[in-house]
Amino acid sequence: MDWKRFNGEKIKNDIVLEVEKTLLAETAAGHKLKVCIGTDSQVKGEVIEFATVIVFVREKHGGFMFISMDKKRQKMGIKERMITEVAMSIEIAYKLCPLLEQYSVDLEVHADINTNPSFKSNTALSEAMGYILSMGFVFKAKPDAFASSYCANKMVH
């Protein structure tokens, strides 16, 4: 996965190394951090665009994010697309987990899935929640899943 900052600057280092540098710099600046990971997607013709974000939330001092974009050329139903989003988030969460534990940084995995049954994405809620929780991660769905619902969403819309 290729990563960039919100300003478009490419991250040249391995993402785990870059996150560690970020944690050290933010801690040195006196910030307490929480990391939230989420993915959103948008169907554009025959292509599905995915955006995965790593959001660094500074307690009482805003936040910032790293972004990875991906495209897939395959047909997917809504449920498959939601589970693919979750899988992409879990992939990066799994990579970062040992590092975040080492620095005592809380991690949440956000799913762009609505808890309201009247929304189509709700069909994937129980599977997504089970997937994330079984991996040992904190799970958030809409309306609390800002990393996927707002941050990643802005990158694909």
Q: Which residues contact 56 (CB under 8 A, 6 or more apart)?
A: 22, 26, 33, 34, 35, 63, 64, 65
Q: Which residues contact 134 (CB under 8 A, 6 or more apart)?
A: none
Distance, in Å, from the CA atom of 67 to the CA atom of 43, rounded to the nearest integer, reads: 18
How would CATH label the architecture of 3-156?
A: 2-Layer Sandwich (3.30)
Q: What is the pLDDT of residue 157?
A: 80
Angle subtended by helix axes 15-28 and 78-102, to nearest 10: 50
- Classify 112 as helix, strand or coil: strand
Q: Would you list the domain boundaries of the chain?
A: 3-156
Q: What is the pLDDT of residue 36?
A: 98
β-pairing, 3-5 with 47-58?
unpaired
Residue 112: which of 68, 51, 64, 60 has the closest Cα?
51
Q: What is the pLDDT of residue 50?
A: 97
Going residue by residue through the chain, which has 157 residues, state the pLDDT in tens, using 9 for 90 and above: 899 999 999 999 999 999 999 999 999 999 999 999 999 999 999 999 999 999 999 999 999 999 999 999 999 999 999 999 999 999 999 999 999 999 999 999 999 999 999 998 899 999 999 999 999 999 999 999 999 999 999 999 8
Other Cβ atoms less than 10 A from the Cβ of 157: the count is 9
Residue with tokens 């609390």: 144
Other Cβ atoms less than 10 A from the Cβ of 83: the count is 18
Distance, in Å, from the CA atom of 115 to the CA atom of 122, rounded to the nearest integer, reads: 6
Q: What is the pLDDT of residue 1?
A: 83
